[in-house]
Amino acid sequence: MMKKKIGRTGSALLMVVLTTLTVALSGCSSDKAGDSAKVETGAETGTDTVTSTETAASTETTDDLSKLTVGIPQDIDGLDPHNSTGAGTREVFYNIFEGLVKADSDGNLNPAVASEYTISEDSKVYTFTLRDGIKFHDGSDVTVEDIKYSLERNMGVDGSEPLIKAYGKIDSVNVLDDSHVEVVLKDADSDFLTQLTVAIIPAANEHPETTPIGTGPYKYVSNSPQENFVVTRFDDYWGEKAYIKDVVFKIEANMDAIVLDLEGGSIDMMARVTPTQVAQLSDKFEVYEGTMNLVQALYLNNAVKPFDDVKVRQALCYAVNPQEIMDFVSEGAGTEVGSAMFPAFSKYYMPELNDTYNTDVDKAKALLAEAGYPNGFEFTITVPSNYGQHVDTAQVISEELKAIGVTANIQEIEWNSWVSDVYSGREYEATVVGIDASTLSASALLSRYVSDNGKNFVNFNSADFDAAYANASAATDDAEKTKYYKECETILSQEAASVYIQDLPEFVVLNKKFTGYVFYPLYVQDIAKIRPAQ
């Protein structure tokens, strides 16, 4: 048995999955939210540069700094943490619920409900020690039975399907004594700890769907659909207590009114604000810049004509200029990507692939002519209408493609239609979305390009890629694994699986009355770290 303290696991082993049931493209709001298609995880925190202009000029001395109002773009979709899948819900629940382990802003797994753990040498038995004196929000003590109950609930004990696919791997959860629980796996899995961030909730609570009780730094007060979600500081929290007493998550139905609402004072903080909105803000606000950790691309359906011809796909890559898109859509912010990997995965990201196709209209035309389309062709880009940045990107692409005689029509569709037609049905020619990783592993981004993968909605089909991916999966040595993943990325780039564009910038706006916003490599808003500015 090797014994180690949690929290020392080191950021190299960032295989964190905060949320196991990650909905990579979890559909957020239905309204015209200006944010980009979800973000899930990432390996590093992006660049936390702070752009702000001088002077806080705190004129409102009477302001109540014990209350923070945070705008969120969509409703909380259910109060039961095990049954809520919306990325927007989980970013709020991070403050209320905790698992046995919990991710921090560097991507490490820290102790939460458990105070330490051991993993058996065959990686099949995980044993946890319950943190001494930890309490639920209702004042009751957390017991090992609660842990067993919470994990088994996700396993779907009475013959039903597991709520989290990976929990199908659990053979049993056994209570050893008053302070120890072991999780026994059917097969060895040295990364299973990443799945154990699932919320621990009291077994005694009969209605988790209406009365959410957790162990986090904030406790639930009330939820009013389409209006707000209110929490208050949990004073018996085991760890570092939150600074701000009352926090209201206010649903902002109208993303176009964000600037008005921030300036007017009805919200103090808003994440995923667009660069244009940032440009309109006064100096009352501090703007934190990070990245969304996703791969935005013009995804091409490799199974339909003319995109079944690699030359056509390459021609589009030569014609589309990512920098120009960033200039138009996000005032030049954003990070170019040349393959299906975003920069936060620094270990796997290959900046050199950005240069596989440097904008070259003549070359693009030549390739089109070789492919038999000397006069170009016409196709349709299908974009989910609720993601303004993707719609704008599609417009820029359409304009750029005119230069090589290709006509790209834009078809906006509702998010649900996008899911059923494009993502599940694969009935489309091209689409612009952002794809994120559901775990902090390169496979989360690359597995979908394996030809028979169920999520391969671009219908990419390459024997070389399949072989390289299989090698990566089989490899046990980290360096070797990384080498094969990089090979995968290179193949995607050379074969022009899609037209890779950028990792979108993320802007978080916080009223200067407050400070301390921290980016996470995960989709969370850690409100407990925010404090009043002096």
For the segment 159-198, give every residue that binds another protein (CB under 8 A). Answer: 160-163, 165
Buried b / exposed e over 440-465, threshold 16 CB at 10 Å, is: bbbbbbbbbbbeeeeebbbbbbbeeb
The single residue among 421, 471, 475, 494 that binds another protein, judged by CB under 8 A, is 421
Q: How far is the CB of 130 from another protein (least distance, A)?
A: 29
Residue 438 touching another protein (CB under 8 A): yes
Those residues whose C-beta lies under 8 Å from the C-beta of residue 305, and which sit 6 or more positions away, are none
Residue 75 touching another protein (CB under 8 A): yes
Q: How far is the CB of 29 from another protein (least distance, A)?
A: 8
Measured from the CB atom, is 92 or 259 closer to another protein?
259
The single residue among 190, 224, 346, 358 that binds another protein, judged by CB under 8 A, is 224
Query: What is the footprint of another protein within residues 318-377 (CB under 8 A)?
Result: 324, 327-328
Residue 419 touching another protein (CB under 8 A): yes
Measured from the CB atom, is 276 or 461 closer to another protein?
276
Residue 96 touching another protein (CB under 8 A): no
Full 3-state SS string of 88-121: HHHHHHCCCCCCCEEECCCCCEEECCEEEEEECC
Measured from the CB atom, is 339 or 389 closer to another protein?
389
The single residue among 118, 174, 359, 411 that binds another protein, judged by CB under 8 A, is 411
Residue 453 touching another protein (CB under 8 A): no
Structure tokens at 225: 């659909």
Those residues whose C-beta lies under 8 Å from the C-beta of residue 350, and which sit 6 or more positions away, are 338, 339, 341, 486, 489, 490
Give me the residues paired with residue 125 across strands. Answer: 184
199, 214 Cβ separation under 8 angstroms: yes
Residue 225 touching another protein (CB under 8 A): yes
| Residue with tokens 């992006």, as numbered in its chain | 46
110, 7 Cβ separation under 8 angstroms: yes
Q: Which stretch binds another protein (CB under 8 A): 93-101, 172-180, 224-232, 291-299?
A: 224-232
Q: How far is the CB of 138 from another protein (least distance, A)?
A: 20
Residue 63 touching another protein (CB under 8 A): no
Residue 378 touching another protein (CB under 8 A): no
Query: What is the footprint of another protein within residues 257-286 (CB under 8 A)?
Result: 257, 259-261, 263-267, 276-277, 279-280
Residue 476 touching another protein (CB under 8 A): no
Q: How far is the CB of 240 from another protein (least distance, A)?
A: 31
Q: How far is the CB of 424 from another protein (least distance, A)?
A: 8
Measured from the CB atom, is 112 or 326 closer to another protein?
326
Residue 211 touching another protein (CB under 8 A): no
Residue 141 DSSP code? B
Structure tokens at 386: 């609720």
Residue 397 touching another protein (CB under 8 A): no
Q: How far is the CB of 109 from another protein (least distance, A)?
A: 21
Q: What is the CA radius of gyration of the chain?
A: 24
Residue 415 touching another protein (CB under 8 A): yes
CA distances from 321 to 336, 361, 381, 397, 443 (A): 10, 10, 17, 8, 27
The interface mask with another protein, positions 285-304, x = CB under 8 A, is: --------------------
Measured from the CB atom, is 189 or 412 closer to another protein?
412
Measured from the CB atom, is 46 or 384 closer to another protein?
384
Number of residues in contact with another protein under rule CB under 8 A: 78
For 477-521, give the DSSP string. SHHHHHHHHHHHHHHHHHTTSSEEEEEPEEEEEEETTEE-----S
- If one counts every other C-beta atom within 10 angstroms of the C-beta of residue 371, the result is 17
94, 526 Cβ separation under 8 angstroms: yes
Distance, in Å, from the CA atom of 435 to the CA atom of 36, rounded to the nearest integer, reads 10
Nearest Cα neighbor of 240 from 99, 140, 110 is 110
- H or E element that contains 125: strand 125-130
Q: Which stretch binds another protein (CB under 8 A): 365-373, 406-414, 484-492, 505-513?
A: 406-414
The single residue among 254, 346, 358, 407 that binds another protein, judged by CB under 8 A, is 254
313, 497 Cβ separation under 8 angstroms: yes
**Side-chain-facing half-sphere of 141: CA atoms under 13 Å:** 9
The single residue among 151, 185, 312, 394 that binds another protein, judged by CB under 8 A, is 394
The single residue among 7, 13, 30, 56 that binds another protein, judged by CB under 8 A, is 30
Nearest Cα neighbor of 345 from 470, 443, 480, 448 is 443
The single residue among 13, 65, 67, 80 that binds another protein, judged by CB under 8 A, is 80
Residue 416 touching another protein (CB under 8 A): yes
Structure tokens at 483: 């080498």
The single residue among 256, 308, 370, 487 that binds another protein, judged by CB under 8 A, is 256
282, 333 Cβ separation under 8 angstroms: no
